[in-house]
Amino acid sequence: MPYVTTADGADIFYKDWGPKEAQPIVFHHGWPLSSDDWDAQALFFLGHGYRVVAHDRRGHGRSAQTWDGHDMDHYAADAAAVVEHLDLRDAVHVGHSTGGGEVARYVARHGEPAGRVAKAVLVSAVPPLMVRTDSNPGGLPLEVFDGLRKALADNRAQFFLDLPSGPFYGFNRPGATTLSGVVQNWWRQGMMGGAKAHYEGIRAFSETDQTEDLRAIGVPTLVLHGEDDQIVPIDNAGRLSARILQNATLKTYPGFSHGMLTVNAEVLNADLLAFVQS
Q: Is the dihedral of CA 267, 258, 194, 154 positive or negative?
A: negative
Catalytic-labelled residue, pool 56, 78, 213, 229: 229
Residue type, 209: D
Asked if 110 is an active-site residue, the reply is no
What lies within 8 Å, CB to CB, of 243 at 6+ separation is none
Beta carbons of 253 and 226 less than 8 angstroms apart? yes
Asked if 28 is an active-site residue, the reply is no
Tell me the longest C-alpha to C-alpha distance in the chain.
Answer: 49
Beta carbons of 247 and 261 less than 8 angstroms apart? no
Distance from first CA to last CA of the chain, Å, rounded? 34
Catalytic-labelled residue, pool 55, 93, 225, 258: 258
- How far, in Å, CA of 217 to CA of 82, rounded? 20
Q: Is the dihedral of CA 257, 258, 263, 266 positive or negative?
A: positive
Catalytic-labelled residue, pool 97, 124, 206, 241: 97
Asked if 97 is an active-site residue, the reply is yes
| Residues that are catalytic | 97, 229, 258
